[in-house]
Chains A and B, each alone.
Chain A
Amino acid sequence: MLFNSLDFAVFLPIVFVLYWFVVNKELKYQNLLIVVASYVFYGWWDWRFLILILFSTLVDYAVGMALSKQQNYSNRKILLWISIIINLGFLGFFKYYNFFVDNFVQAFSFFGREIQPNTLNIILPVGISFYTFQTLSYTIDVYKRKLEPTRNFISFAAFVSFFPQLVAGPIERASNLLPQFYVKRHFIYQKAVDGLRQILWGLFKKVVIADNCANVANAIFEGYESYSASTLLLGAVFFAFQIYGDFSGYSDIAIGTSRLFGFDLKQNFAFPYFSRDMAEFWRRWHISLSTWFRDYLYIPLGGSRGTKRNQIRNVFIIFIVSGFWHGANWTFIIWGGLNAVYFIPLLLLNKNRVNTDVVAEHRLLPSVKELLQMGLTFSLTVIAWVFFRAESVSMALHFLYRTANSSLFTIPQIRPTDLLIFLLIFITIEWAGRRDFYAIERLWFKYPKPIRLFVYYTIAMMIFLYGGRTQEFIYFQF
């Protein structure tokens, strides 16, 4: 079920009413309803893959229980590895099997050995990368004794399958989300209203910004050989806004929906395109994934400790794995590697934690220096996004090669004026709200309520009038 679909528009109020009016007396019924609703939500795509979620839930619940009883270090480690192998095994099979087979075949043919590939027609279960990482975080935290294992299976099942963030995150840590299933939720007016506001902004980002940018970006990327350099640049910039609007929009809807049910999820995007360097960008982009890799991969590898060589190695590993997490294609691996290349100079010069505050925090506008820094960071990001969007590495290279000629200074062949105006409005609102959890969280609070309501009404009407055809969220494929 898509957040931007009629199905969800019917599903959400039904679950909301049942949750607060029918099962609100008992915690276990609240949790049970969340599990049922989540399974319906997921099963809407393909009910067969519910078995995977259920199996993953059972495995990690059982491993957690076993870890609670097991004191022996070796046995605990075995239990951890059982969970890792099963979870990553599913992920590896569904997501990477064909990639590895294809690459083995190519490697063999390079050495003159022709082998018959045995690829399978595998359907990637929606959201598998997200819930796999979420359940893994539980087992690892229990193994490290950072978290008490739960004995309550329904709570755990609700944590794994929680529908607002099941298919595209944010990837919640068990330490943050699971305890929220242990206490009965009480309705709080302000929290619910805030949730609705965040949903509204998320829908605007997805439907008005991302989907409309997608139309232009897709047209330009698909026909890139016939466009001028300036048009290609425009296509890459539109893709940058498409992916931001798409993914951060999804996160906003997920967080907002969770708030309607009394839950607090962590912020997943903190206005990343206002970053002044790449280190700041990665602290603000897909925060739940970046911190997951930081805590469960980067730090165990040694992080920023040890020799410079080790530090560089660790940065490359985390970025390349992060790229590979996004998809079984060399384009994602190069996208990750390129970001590592951007990041390493900052690490080596000890400048990776320079910009930890909000840009121009106490000013209306950024300084010229900040503007240049943001421009440079955004430009580097856009170059990397070309690899992310391209069908193949050669296409990405060809695309970039074609942007480096004199037609860069000509008027683009595609000029979507409406969309440029929307983007300008969007950037202005995001800038004005950059100090908050999401852009419109408190943006118009100084104005009387009727004015605020009128603004929300206008945003809703823009979603209705300017929303394109319902499109899937990009991150569903990951």
Chain B
Amino acid sequence: MRRFLFHTSLFLIVLLASFFVVFSIADGTTDAFYKKLSSPKQTSLIVGSSRAAQGIHPNIIDSIYGSNNIYNYSFTISASPYGKAYYESISKKLNSKCKNGVFIIAVTPWSLSENKFNNKNSMGYPEDHDFIGKTNFVNLKPNIEYLLESFIPKNEAIIRNKYRKGLYQTFYVQDNGWLEVTIESDMISKTIRTKNKIESYRNMLSNYNGFSEYRWNYLIKTINLFKEQGDVYLVRIPVIEEMLEIENELIPNFDERIDLLAKHHQSPYINMMLYNHAYDYTDGNHLTVNSGKKFSLDLAYQMKKLKHVSN
């Protein structure tokens, strides 16, 4: 028996060590989320959906606004709409000791809406069962919990994706949480992507009930959480006109609601949708890398201006 236990344990130790080595390789190439869930606690955050993940460059905000290592902790519309799961994840990511942080909360009608079929049922909201709700440890590296429980591709993708960086249609999460997406920029591909995106969001619209009290309350909780630790900015990231029309159908008085909320919490609302013609989009919904830089620059200047006004 001793011999069996010794040999088995030895074999298992070598095997587990190999698993650990593979997990240790995981980084910003692994998928669009891993890096964000394996970075240390942060003092300043950008939260929101994929528009914010791709569109807001933390280094530009830092350099213009003067924030100190703001971190992009935005995910996707399905994983990180405002709600209990995202709120708890944000709370875990936040270094509560710091009191002079900067927080950008990206708002969109989608992240404040109820899905007709998937929302609250006896099992909770869909994101409660997604990685954002399932990952208890968001500051571990390697984040074995995430890789075991929520990483969808096979583990070999951890190794394979490392060599795909920079190739056709890939993603890379930078150290500051910004999601860099490499995508074809020719006009034909862009037109097709935009058409498909509008179509899919149009279809999505029929599955949504519109404004959600639940999500709204969690947005307020998120604002309150951030207010305790620094300056908070509510931001609407631009999209093309057709996408805006769909969003206006989803929550018709969205800007008025956010305006009122911002005033109530004495946090500025920067509605960049008003300048949507000034930017270029990969699919009508996400800013291109260059437009993201321009947008981040414009946003940082707006934030700086507002900060001076308030001071």
Contacts of B159 in A (CB 8 A): 465
**Is B15 within 8 A of A465, CB to CB?**
no
Which A residues from 446 to 476 make CB contacts under 8 A with B?
A: 453, 456-457, 460-461, 464-469
Among B11, B15, B152, B154, the residue within 8 A (CB) of A466 is B154
Of the candidate stretches B1-9, B127-135, B262-270, B299-307, the one touching chain A is B1-9
User: Is B11 touching A453 in the complex (CB atoms < 8 A)?
Assistant: yes
A464 touches B8 (CB 8 A): no
Q: Which of A192, A453, A467 contacts B4 (CB 8 A)?
A: A192
Query: A457 with B154: in contact, given A192-B4, A465-B22 (CB under 8 Å)?
Result: no
Q: Establish whether residues B148 and A460, one from each chain, have CB atoms under 8 Å apart when the complex forms.
A: no
Say whether A193 faces chain B, with CB atoms less than 8 Å apart: yes
Q: Contact: A196 with B19, CB < 8 Å?
A: no
Q: Does B18 contact A (CB under 8 A)?
A: yes
Contacts of A187 in B (CB 8 A): 1, 4
In angstroms, Cα B155 to Cα A466, docked, is 6
For residue B14, CB closer than 8 A to chain A, the reply is yes
Whether B156 sits at the interface, judged by CB under 8 Å, is yes
Residues of A within 8 A of B15 (CB): 457, 460-461, 464
Query: Is A424 close to B, CB under 8 A?
Result: no
For B148, list chain A residues within 8 Å (CB).
6
Chain B residues closer than 8 Å to A468, beta-carbon distance? 154
Cα distance A193–B7 when bound, in Å? 10
**B154 touches which one: A453, A460, A461, A465 (CB < 8 A)?**
A465
Indicate whether A73 reaches chain B with its CB closer than 8 angstroms.
no
If A187-B4, A457-B15 touch, whether A467 touches B155 (CB-CB below 8 Å) is: yes
With A453-B11, A457-B14 already in contact, the answer to whether A464 and B22 are too (CB < 8 A) is yes
Complex CA gap A453/B13 in Å reads: 13
* B155 with A464: CB separation less than 8 A: yes
Size of the chain B interface, CB-CB below 8 angstroms: 17
Interface flags for A1-20 (1: CB within 8 Å of B; 0: not) read 00000100000000000001
State whether B155 touches A457 (Cβ < 8 A): no
Decide if A189 is an interface residue (CB 8 Å cutoff). Answer: yes
Contact digits for A429-453, partner B, Cβ 8 Å, 1 yes 0 no: 0000000000000000000000001
Interfacial residues of chain B within 149-178, with CB under 8 A of chain A in the complex: 152, 154-156, 159
Residues of chain B in range 1-33 having any CB-CB distance to chain A below 8 Å: 1, 3-4, 7-8, 11, 14-15, 18-19, 22
Chain A residues lying within 8 Å of B22, measured Cβ to Cβ, are 464-465
Asked if A457 contacts B11 (CB within 8 A), the reply is yes
Contacts A20-B1, A187-B1, A189-B3 known; A466 to B156 CB distance under 8 Å?
yes
Give every chain B residue within 8 A of A192 (Cβ-Cβ).
4
A468 and B156 CA atoms in complex are apart in Å by 10
Q: Which residues of A contact B152 (CB under 8 A)?
A: 469
Complex CA gap A196/B5 in Å reads: 12
In the complex, what distance in Å separates the CA atom of A467 from the CA atom of B11?
20
Query: Contacts of B7 on A, CB cut-off 8 Å?
Result: 193
Q: Report how far A47 CA is from B8 CA in the complex, Å.
A: 32
Return the chain A residue nearest B155 by Cβ.
A465
Task: Determine how close the nearest CB of chain B comes to the CB of A41; give it in whole angstroms.
Answer: 21
Which chain A residues (189-206) contact chain B, with CB distance < 8 Å? 189, 192-193, 196
Most chain B C-beta atoms within 10 Å of own C-beta, residue among A192, A457, A461, A464: A464
Separation of A6 and B4 alpha carbons in the complex (Å): 22
Chain A residue with minimal CB distance to B8? A196
**Complex: how many Å from CA A466 to CA B156?**
6
Shortest distance from the beta carbon of B174 to any chain A beta carbon, whole Å: 26
Instruction: Report A380 CB to chain B, min CB distance, Å.
Output: 33
**Contact across chains for B154 and A189 when beta carbons are under 8 A apart:** no
What is the bound-complex CA distance between A20 and B8, given in angstroms? 15
- By beta carbon, the residue of chain B nearest A456 is B11
Q: Is the CB of A467 within 8 A of B8?
A: no
CB-defined contacts of B11 to chain A, threshold 8 Å: 453, 456-457
**Most chain B CB neighbours (cut-off 10 Å) among A20, A193, A453, A465:** A465
- Once the chains are docked, how many angstroms separate the CA of A134 from the CA of B251? 60
Bound state CA distance, A192 and B148, in angstroms? 28
**Chain A nearest Cβ from B144, distance in angstroms:** 11
Q: How far is the CB of A459 from chain B (nearest CB, A)?
A: 11
B119-148 vs A: 1/0 string, CB under 8 Å?
A: 000000000000000000000000000001
Alpha-carbon gap, A457 to B22, bound state (A):
14
B contact residues around A196 at 8 Å (CB)? 8
- CB atoms of B18 and A461 under 8 A apart: yes
B19 vs chain A, min Cβ distance (A): 6
A189 touches B4 (CB 8 A): yes
- Which among B4, B14, B18 is the interface contact of A193 at CB below 8 angstroms? B4
Residue on B nearest A465 in the bound complex, by CB: B156
Q: Which of B4, B155, B159 has the most CB of A within 10 A?
A: B4
A20 to B7 alpha-carbon distance, docked (Å): 16
- B 261-305 binary contact with A (CB < 8 Å = 1; else 0): 000000000000000000000000000000000000000000000
Neighbouring A residues of B155 by C-beta, 8 Å: 464-467
Q: Which residue of B lies closest to A215 (CB)?
A: B154
Task: Report A-chain residues with C-beta under 8 Å of the C-beta of B4.
Answer: 187, 189, 192-193
Residues of the A chain whose Cβ atoms lie less than 8 Å from the Cβ of B1: 20, 187, 189
Question: Which residue on chain A has the smallest CB distance to residue B7?
Answer: A193
Report Cα–Cα, A237/B19, bound state, in Å: 32
Q: Do residues B14 and A464 form an inter-chain contact, with CB atoms below 8 A?
A: no
Which residues on A sit within 8 Å (CB–CB) of B156? 465-466
A357 to B24, CA, bound (A): 50
Q: How far is the CB of A123 from chain B (nearest CB, A)?
A: 16
Q: Which residue of A lies closest to B14 (CB)?
A: A457
Contact A464 B3 (CB under 8 A): no
- With both chains docked as a complex, state the minimum distance between the C-beta of B113 and any C-beta of chain A, in angstroms: 29
Nearest Cβ on chain B to A58's Cβ, whole angstroms: 34
| Closest partner residue, chain B, to A187 (CB atom) | B1
Q: How far is the CA of A432 from the CA of B185 in the complex (A)?
A: 52
Q: A166 to nearest B CB, angstroms?
A: 24
Tell me the bound Cα distance from A469 to B3 in angstroms.
34
A94 to B301, CA, bound (A): 67
B160's closest neighbor in chain A, by CB? A465
Query: A132 → chain B, closest Cβ, in Å?
Result: 31
B residues near A (Cβ < 8 Å) are: 1, 3-4, 7-8, 11, 14-15, 18-19, 22, 148, 152, 154-156, 159
Q: A6-B148, A466-B155 are in contact. List 14 more A-B contacts (CB 8 A).
A: A187-B1, A187-B4, A193-B4, A196-B8, A457-B11, A457-B15, A460-B15, A461-B15, A464-B15, A465-B22, A465-B154, A465-B156, A465-B159, A469-B152
Task: Report 22 cross-chain contacts, Cβ distance below 8 Å, ordered by A residue.
Answer: A20-B1, A187-B4, A189-B1, A189-B4, A192-B4, A193-B4, A196-B8, A453-B11, A456-B11, A457-B11, A457-B15, A461-B15, A464-B19, A464-B22, A464-B155, A465-B22, A465-B154, A465-B155, A465-B156, A465-B159, A466-B155, A468-B154
Nearest 6 pairs of A and B residues by beta carbon: A465-B156, A465-B155, A187-B1, A192-B4, A189-B4, A460-B15
